[in-house]
Structure 1
Amino acid sequence: MDNRLTNRITLRHMEAFRAVMLNKTVTSAASSMCISQPVVTRLLAEFEWRIGIRLFERQRGRLHPTPEAKLLYEEVKQSLAGVERIADAAAEIRTLRRGSLRIAAAPSLALDFLPQTIGKFLERHPRAQIQLLLLSSQAVMERVREGRSDIGFIILSLQLQSSYCQLLMSTRMVCAIPAAHPLAQRDLIKPKDLQGERFVSYPTLLDTRAMVDAAFATHGVTRTLDIETQNSYAMLRLVEAGVGIALIDALTAACHQNEGVRFVPFEAAIPMNFSLMQAPDQTPGALQQPFIDFVRAEMLRRIPAEAVLYPER
């Protein structure tokens, strides 16, 4: 067996070869590599022996590459460029400039807040690869539990929190009122103020609907309930159209930009719980916690302090 096969070419051999090709002399090559001239000479000799090709002819104190060296140089350049790309990628991953994150979210978060937040996050992490899927809360839970998404954002009752689902933030619901409605001029809406008003409700199967109905029942208030939708953005469109008044989460209100709706604090504290899910038994990527922290900070920045129930400010 040829002993050369048992002596592998190293990156240092290729770097020395490239340096000599670029600088024409061993002295200049050594200076560019910040090593001594004898080390470059040794690396070059080892490289020639291990590949079995004469690479340079010495003429008048300078090294002149052979035709074989010129052919090999193109391959060496490509190989070293690939190694340098790997090193650059590793540095970007280590410093959180690059990475991947698969996100699944309920519509109340995925339609407005998360796209805006992801845009700001990418300003800090421009090479990050992010997938955002808009799904029902049940589908988000299943996808994260199965490991097909790294994190999920949903609205979930406190009673349903688990080891892989934790409360991210709890906010008070606020009153969304058509701008032309007389109640839009109030600074605070009490349950009794909505007596007899047409109300845009969540479907009866949702926990949120039960909490809203209970708040009004406690005060003996009767509303006109002939319009339902499960989506807070659809609610806002109905309110904009002057169809009725609604109670929605403070985050949706904070992200909404339309002069046709005015948001007024609601006296009764009806919580809306934004929950975070993380895939169980899966090592989180480097971007995962920084993104979660960024989402929490953006929520706190956008939502008025008086509307936040948890975490306490």
Structure 2
Amino acid sequence: MPTLRALECLIAVLDAGSITDAAKALHMSQPALSHQLAALEREIGAPVLERLPRGVRATVIGRAVEADARAALAAATRVVDGGRAAARGAGGQLRLACAESLTASLLAPVLRHWLRRRPGVEVMLTEAASADDLVRHIESGTADLALGPRPTRWTGASELIGVEEVVAVLPADHPLSHRDRLGFEDLRDRPLVHYHPENGLAGWLDAQAAGHGVTLDPVMRTRQAATAAQLAAAGLGIALVPVSALGPGLPGTLKRLHPIVSRDLVCLIGAPADLLVRRFVSDVVDRGVPVHPSIRAKLTP
């Protein structure tokens, strides 16, 4: 297979019209350039240049390969330029996996600033229903970085984003709305807006309740934490919702749990040495767990 150097020599000769001028342009000796051309002609099996009394010109074979040779050199240049841009953090591709309940609140603001500063970076996003799904994306090589709750099994590199509290959402006229805090015992036999079994929150909250001797009683299930909060505020039951999923204008009442129920949000890092990954992790960690000011105010005694 011809080398890029041989193709570069051919194009330089065609552009310059002479071996002497092409050698000067490439900062190499004429014998070295002629050696590259000879190797190319042996590879092709036919002459690519016709030697004239003054200079050279392409043969029919030379003209036939010229366009592809130029394309190969241009592609090689793009490889180097793309690699250098990625090394500076200005280009490349970043493959993210994110817990679907955190895409809007945690990931979207970071992505907005990230892509404004680095428009040359292509971001590929996959959403996952559970922390274990995030692990599978990292282990299968389909994601460089995953954002979500701390999984039950993960031995690779990770960074803590922050600790996220889970609170109870209930309608303003609910019998428990006068309580300062709620415990799992308060949820016994009460209608609960719960999560779809494929959402990792469902199993995690069931385990938390079981630890207090309580079995949760779902009146309905949804995949999205923000939807659970709205349904609870509308009077369908109580919902246990991570604070990052709560937005402004929520009409219901918020109650902290006693004891406090919280979960770690982490970055699972599949490519710790990658510059883009390290920079993105830094931005996510610097932002921390998002809590809307109006929600924080509702939870402040």
Give ranges in structure 1 of 5+ residues lacking alignment: 1-7, 218-224, 308-313
Q: 2:262 aligns with which of 262, 266, 271?
A: 271
- State the secondary structure of the residue aligned to 2:155: coil
Q: Establish whether residue 55 from structure 1 lines up as the match of residue 42 from structure 2.
A: no
Provide Cα deviations, 1:243-277, integer angstroms capped at 9, x if missing partner.
Answer: 45645222212xx36x3547868486442322444
Summarize the Cα distance change of 1:85–1:278 in structure 2 as closer, same or farther, 3 Å threshold. Answer: closer
Q: 2:181 aligns with which of 188, 191, 201?
A: 191
- State the secondary structure of the residue aligned to 2:122: strand
Q: Match for residue 3 of structure 1? A: none
- State the secondary structure of the residue aligned to 2:162: strand
Summarize the Cα distance change of 1:72–1:234 in structure 2 as closer, same or farther, 3 Å threshold. Answer: closer
Q: Match for residue 288 of structure 2? A: 299
Q: Establish whether residue 134 from structure 1 lines up as the match of residue 122 from structure 2.
A: no
**Do 1:137 and 1:154's aligned partners in 2 also have CA atoms closer than 8 Å?**
yes
Provide Cα deviations, 1:21-43, integer angstroms capped at 9, x if missing partner.
Answer: 2233556545644x2xxx35334
Give ranges in structure 2 of 5+ residues lacking alignment: 196-200, 297-301
Q: How many matched pairs?
A: 271
What's the RMSD between the two structures over aligned residues? 4.7
Distance 1:108 1:152 in 2: 13
Q: CA deviation at 1:58?
A: 3.8
Taking structure 1 as the reference length, what is the TM-score of the superposition?
Answer: 0.61
Summarize the Cα distance change of 1:47–1:208 in structure 2 as closer, same or farther, 3 Å threshold. Answer: closer
Q: 2:155 aligns with which of 149, 163, 172?
A: 163
Summarize the Cα distance change of 1:156–1:57 in structure 2 as closer, same or farther, 3 Å threshold. Answer: closer
Which residue identity does 1:24 align to in structure 2?
G
Distance 1:114 1:133 in 2: 11
Distance 1:110 1:140 in 2: 13
Distance 2:37 2:202 in 1: 77
Distance 1:201 1:212 in 2: 14
Distance 1:16 1:297 in 2: 50
Taking structure 2 as the reference length, what is the TM-score of the superposition?
Answer: 0.63
Summarize the Cα distance change of 1:267–1:161 in structure 2 as closer, same or farther, 3 Å threshold. Answer: same
After TM superposition, the structure 1 = structure 2 runs for residues 1-313 of structure 1, keeping only pairs within 5 Å, are 10-25=3-18, 29=22, 32-33=25-26, 35=27, 39=28, 41-50=30-39, 51=41, 53=47, 55-59=49-53, 61-96=54-89, 97-101=91-95, 103=97, 105-110=98-103, 113-115=106-108, 117-118=110-111, 120-123=113-116, 124=118, 126-142=120-136, 144=138, 149-156=143-150, 160=152, 163-164=155-156, 167-174=160-167, 176=169, 181=172, 190-191=180-181, 200=192, 202=194, 206-208=203-205, 227=219, 229=221, 231=223, 232-239=225-232, 241-243=234-236, 246-253=239-246, 256=247, 259-261=249-251, 266=256, 269-278=260-269, 285-300=274-289, 302-303=290-291
Which residue identity does 1:136 align to in structure 2?
S
Percentage identity across aligned positions? Answer: 15
